[in-house]
Amino acid sequence: MNNRQDADLVALYRVQGCLDIYASELSAVDLVFLRGKLDDCVTRLETAAADQAGSQASVRSNALRVNELRQRLLRHHLDPIVEFSRANVTRIAEMQAWQMPADDATETEVLAIADGTVEAAGACREEFVNRGLPPAFVEELQEAIAEFRRAIWDREVSKMVRYGASLGMKYEFPVVWEVVRLMGVLIKREFGGHPQLMGAWQQARLHAPRQETRRLRAPDSVKLLPAGSGPALIAATWGVVAADQDPAEGSTAIAIMPQHQAPPARSERDSLLLRLFRFFGKAA
């Protein structure tokens, strides 16, 4: 359940509490049907939230179990059979082409290779047993495959339950808020001039306040730094004042010292000499 859904459910609890606290005042309004719909929706939302939380934990545990059973199937069952069938000392001609699944092989590919290995190894059982494998190695491989397949099934079922619960809450919240809106219409029609009751109802309908995130903001005061020797520029993160400005009383300021001044303009004689040098340079 995300933050918005959690805030919605808490707000619905407040609506139920408001209806219970002001039950005597609201007895003049027929809210029996809508209150029943509200309670039913809240119950379904609570069930969906519990299913979602439980299935989320099941998905994680089943995913770990799938990975564990995959490694066990590969290392303790398939790997010895493939190694014995391809080794020079214990070579079995009928199974020399068999290889281990790639590290990035999908679960379906692993199961397909494992099922094929069961059939091929079963036909050569005596040769494997004579070379040192236990007599029941084929049955052990079949059991490991079945356990691996069952773990995948359990994980996918948990995912399905989680998705169903999430989808149910997605469609249930608009319905229940429509019920609350209709209840507000009836309450406002009857008690529009009752400020205490209407204020309590409006407060109950509000979403739970979210925690305020910390954001950068301008400081309450800034510091005036001493001027250094020579022109310099002191940068500030938030707002600055010129160096020749007097800071306001009770506050300080970050100063910008005068920047490098522009070089003095060339004299007329310097400009004439520069043009002569350029002319002779082009002529050469």
Residue 204 identity = A
- pLDDT of 64 reads 92
Lowest-confidence pick of 18-32, 90-104, 150-164, 218-232 = 218-232
Mean pLDDT, rounded, for 169-197: 87
SS3 (DSSP) at 2: coil
Mean pLDDT, rounded, for 100-119: 87
Residue 169 identity = M
- pLDDT of 209 reads 41
- Of the two residues 137 and 91, the one the predictor is more confident about is 137
- Of the two residues 168 and 239, the one the predictor is more confident about is 168
- pLDDT of 134 reads 86
pLDDT band at 144 (very low <50, low <70, confident <90, very high): very high
Mean pLDDT, rounded, for 208-226: 54
Tokens for 141, please give them: 């491989």
Tell whether pTM > 0.75: no
Highest-confidence range of 15-19, 232-236, 251-255, by mean pLDDT? 15-19
| Residue pLDDT, tens place only, 77-95 | 888 888 877 775 556 666 6
- pLDDT of 25 reads 86
- pLDDT of 254 reads 47
Distance (Å, whole) CA 143 – CA 176? 49
- pLDDT of 36 reads 92
Distance (Å, whole) CA 129 – CA 215? 71
Contact 35, 15 (CB under 8 A): no
179: which residues sit within 8 A by CB, 6+ positions away?
34, 37, 38, 41
Mean pLDDT, rounded, for 128-141: 85
Q: What is the mean pLDDT of the chain?
A: 77
Mean pLDDT, rounded, for 236-264: 47
Does residue 141 have a pLDDT over 80? yes
- Of the two residues 264 and 230, the one the predictor is more confident about is 264
Does residue 167 have a pLDDT over 80? yes
- Of the two residues 70 and 276, the one the predictor is more confident about is 70
- pLDDT of 136 reads 87
